[in-house]
């Protein structure tokens, strides 16, 4: 059976359903470390089970994104690591952290 909110005509998407069931989502933005291939992001609420989506937020990052897309290479308690190209330009990425429902 599909769950619907009163007054909402369309079904809820999977992310919204997960939030109602106890999952969490947090967002932020980070400037990648120039002259390095990794950037460690300290962000409360991240765990090894978190799902982290990345999105470019400036022109330099969007250009790089097309050829050498950065990725999350490690996750731990309250931090994650983004691996990216070694570049001296200022590049920013926004991120969304989704955590599964706690049992």
pLDDT for residue 2: 53
CB 40 within 8 A of CB 81: yes
CB 100 within 8 A of CB 23: yes
Residue carrying the six token digits 């998407």: 13
Q: Where are the beta strands (DSSP E) in 4-90?
A: 24-31, 38-42, 51-56, 71-76, 79-83
CB 73 within 8 A of CB 55: no
pLDDT for residue 55: 95
- Per-residue pLDDT band for 4 (boundaries 50, 70, 90) equals low
Tens of pLDDT, residues 31-90: 999 999 999 999 998 999 999 999 999 999 999 999 999 999 999 999 999 999 998 899
Q: Is 92 helix (H, G, I), strand (E, B) or coil?
A: strand
């Amino acid at each position: 059976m599909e769950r619907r909110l009163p007054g909402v005509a369309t079904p809820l998407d999977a992310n919204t359903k997960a939030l109602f069931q106890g999952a969490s989502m947090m967002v932020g933005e980070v400037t990648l470390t120039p002259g390095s291939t990794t950037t460690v992001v300290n962000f409360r609420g991240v765990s090894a089970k978190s799902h982290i989506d990345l999105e470019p937020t400036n022109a330099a990052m969007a250009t790089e994104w097309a050829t050498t897309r950065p990725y999350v290479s490690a996750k731990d308690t309250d931090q994650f690591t983004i691996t990216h190209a070694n570049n001296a330009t200022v590049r920013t990425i926004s991120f969304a952290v989704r955590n599964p429902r706690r049992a």
